[in-house]
A and B are shown apart, each in its own frame.
Chain A
Amino acid sequence: MALQDYIRSRFFPHIWCVGCGHGTALNALLRAVETLGLDPSDIVMVSGIGCSSRMPGYVDFHTLHTLHGRALAFATGTKMSKPELTVLVPMGDGDALAIGGNHFIHACRRNIDITAIVLNNRIYGMTGGQFSPLSGPGVVATTAPYSTYDPAFDVMRLAVGAGASFAARGSTYHVVELQQLLVKAISHKGFSVIEVLSPCPTHFGRRNQQGDSVEMLEWLKANTAKLGSKAAEENPELITRGIFVEDERPEYCEQYERILEQAREG
């Protein structure tokens, strides 16, 4: 199927701002789905609330736009009740790790076969630029006019620590790599977390002297490095991209099948 066959083109142009990384992330995700040759009727996309959560409106899958932070809980019910479905969950940083933090760590722990795509723009965009648990210190936001002093979560360490069997970080500058990571994340049997560094020019870039989308992508180019690369070794300040964990571990729905067998045998 062509890319156009996976989208609800009547709703374009989309709601996201000029140069928003989320559009590029959607672009990469659609190409990953296309590469995998998935039937849109076999895909459910579940989202919460926020800029990222508008993604389901644009894809021609089964789509469920839920409550702030709760997407993974809804998705767990969907996957557990019909395990043959491919379940994709785009989330924002607040959605995934502030209000939804509890659901996030438990989804990781269960290792249920869902792909969580954390679109990290380090800000609450939809509500107008408040700081998030991924903003980190030294960021100016509408709720941090004197700058933030809150430390940020490291999504990769959190996901791995909580038990996700696949965790990877990409960026919307490194688009080919991002598509490849998404293909791996979706194909992976188990809970996959993929963090996408996704610029928000409107609310983050503007307030933090990072400029427009072009300048923010240049920043990602200059300030990230491949995991295990020489650049990353030489400069620990760089944000690393790549696969942080890729383990084969018992998947939750498959484990339940064993329980069903056990219960049937009495």
Chain B
Amino acid sequence: MPKRTIADVRINSLWCKRCGICVHFCPREVFVSGEDNLPRVRALDRCTGCRLCEYWCPDLAIEVLIDDE
């Protein structure tokens, strides 16, 4: 398996409805609830690229960008 680097976790603030699912369920606690309840990535280095946040997001507002090395 090539080593995976998480390039970014992008949140589309226009689509996000602030349900908090990603903040609550991320197994690595990558997100925190920020200003106006918008999730914010607090620790990208903790992200394993499991994409669960992307899959759970009811607003299709999260994109996990992974570089395959």
Contact = CB atoms under 8 A, between A and B. Distances in A.
A and B touch in the complex (CB under 8 A): yes
Interface in A36-62: none
Contacts of A14: 15, 59-60
A118 interface: no
B19 A13 contact: no
Interface range for B: 10 to 19
A22 to B, nearest CB: 7
A219 B59 CA distance: 20
Interface-central residue, B52, B55, B57, by most chain A CB under 10 Å: B55
A214 B59 contact: no
B58 A23 contact: yes
Contact of B21 (A16, A28, A31, A213): A213
Interface in A65-87: none
Contact of B24 (A18, A30, A214): A214
Contacts of B20: 19, 212-214
Which applies to chain B's interface (DSSP): helix, strand, loop or mixed? loop
Contacts of B1: none
Contacts, number: 69
A12 B58 contact: no
Contacts of A7: 60
Interface-central residue, B14, B52, B58, B60, by most chain A CB under 10 Å: B58
Nearest to A213: B19
B43 to A, nearest CB: 20
Interface string B42-63: 0000000000101111111100
B4 interface: no
Closest CB pairs A-B (n = 7): A23-B58, A19-B19, A175-B55, A18-B17, A13-B15, A214-B24, A24-B58
